[in-house]
């Protein structure tokens, strides 16, 4: 199977590329659409790995290229997110049960937040991939949490906005790419999952926590994804 592994930033895929090279896996870079896509083989699977750059447009573009040009038949999104619900700690991993766009707003026309005609408010992730993630967590002795992830083209740090997103969508975490990737995968019929290592906690200042914990969280996610590939 050809599997896409996608992050938003270089820091979110570099630990993955490094781990593959440490295993002696050949990694080949292919340039396309003003980006680099890395091809590798692991456990009988063809991998295509990329970082999209930040934001929903970039992530939607990159996910589409991975599926339409490179032929990915499953997609795993790995990276970091900020917690919205209390009790989710820095460094923990959360998988999305579904994803929503918190900044999508045409309520002036009588529609609910996160909805436009012809689309869904909430896009569900793939049950099989989520089950594999749960089995990997058990193998590693990690408590894997789950919940709705909200995406938007803004770095959310203010407590008022965080509280609004949590209340409106019952969201557990917030980031800037997952929901657009979900929409692409849903439209193209490709199973996907979204894994986020928590880089800052609800009730703490994201500006302070994010830089300090991003690299460590990305390494946690990368190790987790490789274990998932081994179980596919």
> Is residue 72 very low, low, confident or very high in pLDDT (cuts 50, 70, 90)?
very high
Active site residue 200: yes
Choosing from 92, 200, 201, 209, which is the catalytic residue?
200
Q: Using CA atoms, how far apart are residues 16 and 221, in angstroms rounded to an integer?
A: 9
pLDDT band at 86 (very low <50, low <70, confident <90, very high): confident
Cα 70 to Cα 53: distance, rounded to the nearest angstrom: 18
Q: What is the secondary structure of 5-16 as a DSSP string?
A: EEESSHHHHHHH
pTM to 2 decimal places? 0.93
Q: Convert the pLDDT of each residue in 95-132 to its tens digit.
A: 999 999 999 999 999 999 999 999 899 999 999 999 99
Neighbouring CB atoms inside 10 A of 199's CB total: 25
Q: pLDDT band for 44, please (50, 70, 90 cuts).
A: very high
For residue 89, what pLDDT is reported? 84
**Positive or negative torsion for Cα 56, 60, 66, 67:** positive
Length reported for the chain: 232
- The packing angle between helices 127-140 and 206-231, to 10°, is 100
H/E segment holding residue 146: strand 144-151
Residue 195 reports pLDDT greater than 90: yes
C-alpha 106/C-alpha 111 separation (Å) is 6
Rounded to an integer, what distance in angstroms lies between the CA atom of residue 132 and that of residue 149? 19
Structural domains in the chain, sorted by start: 2-230 (3.40.50.1580)
Q: Are 91 and 220 in contact (CB under 8 A)?
A: yes
Structural tokens at position 182: 């979900």
Backbone φ, ψ for residue 11 (5° rounding): -60, -20
């Amino acid at each position: 199977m050809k599997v896409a592994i996608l992050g938003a930033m270089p820091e979110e895929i570099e630990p993955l590329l490094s781990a593959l090279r440490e295993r002696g896996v050949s990694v080949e870079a292919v340039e396309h659409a003003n980006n680099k896509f890395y091809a590798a083989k692991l456990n009988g699977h063809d991998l295509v790995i990329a970082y999209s750059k930040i934001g929903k447009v970039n992530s939607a573009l990159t996910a589409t290229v991975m599926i339409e040009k490179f032929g990915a038949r499953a997609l795993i999104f790995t990276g970091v997110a900020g917690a919205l619900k209390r009790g989710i700690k820095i460094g923990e991993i959360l998988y999305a049960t579904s994803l929503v766009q918190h900044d999508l707003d045409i309520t002036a026309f009588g529609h609910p937040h996160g909805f436009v005609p012809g689309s869904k408010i909430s896009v569900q992730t793939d049950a099989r991939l989520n089950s594999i993630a749960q089995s990997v967590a058990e193998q590693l002795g990690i408590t894997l949490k789950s919940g709705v992830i909200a995406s938007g083209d803004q770095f959310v740090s203010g407590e008022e906005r965080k509280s609004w997103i949590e209340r409106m969508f019952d969201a557990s975490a917030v980031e800037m790419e997952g929901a657009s990737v979900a929409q692409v995968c849903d439209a193209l019929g490709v199973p996907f999952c979204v894994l986020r290592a928590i880089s800052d906690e609800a009730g703490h200042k994201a500006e302070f926590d994010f830089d300090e914990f991003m690299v460590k969280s990305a390494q946690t996610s990368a190790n987790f994804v490789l274990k998932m590939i081994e179980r596919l």
